[in-house]
Amino acid sequence: MREKLRIAVLASGNGTNLQALIDASQRGYFHGQIVLVVSNNKDAYALKRAENHNIDSVFINRNDYRTRDDFDRAIIKLLEGYRIDLVLLAGYMRVAGRDMVHTFYGRMMNIHPSLLPAFPGLEAQKQALDYGAKVSGCTVHFVDEGVDTGPIIVQRAVEVCEDDTVESLSDRILAEEHKIYPLAVRFYCEGKLKIEGRRVRVSG
């Protein structure tokens, strides 16, 4: 049997998507193993989640590096040292720099709480409500040099209700994020994804 892909997750906060990915990995939903969690926030609960599952976790302090590029290069060196096959951004509150994108292009995914290209960037759920959208959702995409602009892998729609608040809409979207992120990783581990320009072809 072929070896499982080695996966790293970058997270800055609570890490619920990280937990969904850990759970999926442990039940054999995809042929990959999360071997490293990296955070730029020493208080991120994501680090505790990693510890709870005996996954190596590393806090890297942006203030220890003179430039953003130096910070990104430190992360690249760490990931390469762990022989990472796939990098997953899960609530990672930094834009990946050029060096990181070029090093891991086609091997780095992000999840975003809207149906991209609508409502990229911060507070996507509030953007959807303020705009009066009737449907929102979530997107898993490959990472490029833009903000939430990379080729789309999987999307899931979520209806916006008349009485929704940012919190209620966010909760329903998050529940779908926990489903489609492991699905995108499964497709990747099975070799089913091919990037053709802006389009991601899913075979099989």
Residue pLDDT, tens place only, 114-165 = 999 999 999 999 999 999 999 999 999 999 999 999 999 999 999 999 999 9
pLDDT at residue 204 in the model:
83
Q: Select which of 102, 112, 141, 178 is catalytic.
A: 112
Share of the chain above pLDDT 90, in %: 96
For residues 50-88, one letter each, b for 16 or more C-beta atoms within 10 angstroms of the residue's C-beta and e for the rest, the string is beebebebeebeeeeeeeeeebbbbbbebbeeeebbbbb
- Region 175-195: mean pLDDT is 98
d(CA 174, CA 126): 14
Q: In what order do the strands lie in the sheet with 86-89?
A: 56-59, 32-39, 5-10, 86-89, 108-112, 135-142, 152-159, 199-202, 193-196
Is the confidence at residue 100, as pLDDT, over 80?
Answer: yes
Residue with the bigger pLDDT between 204 and 76: it is: 76
Percent helix, strand and coil across the chain, each to the nearest 5: 35, 25, 40
- Region 5-33: mean pLDDT is 97
When pLDDT is cut at 50, 70 and 90, the band that residue 31 belongs to is very high
Among 30, 31, 14, 45, CA closest to 180: 30
Number of domains in the chain: 1
Is the confidence at residue 81, as pLDDT, over 80?
Answer: yes
pLDDT at residue 95 in the model:
83
Is the confidence at residue 189, as pLDDT, over 80?
Answer: yes
Is the confidence at residue 89, as pLDDT, over 90?
Answer: yes
pLDDT at residue 198 in the model:
94
Is the confidence at residue 46, as pLDDT, over 90?
Answer: yes
Is the confidence at residue 1, as pLDDT, over 70?
Answer: no
pLDDT at residue 2 in the model:
80
Q: Is 141 a catalytic residue?
A: no
The span from the first CA to the last CA of the chain, in angstroms, equals 21
Residue 42: give the domain boundaries. 5-202
The SS3 call for residue 14 is coil
CATH of the domain at 167: 3.40.50.170
- Region 35-40: mean pLDDT is 97
In the chain, where does DSSP find H-type helix?
Answer: 16-26, 45-52, 68-81, 98-104, 124-131, 166-189
Contact at 8 Å (CB) between 70 and 40? no
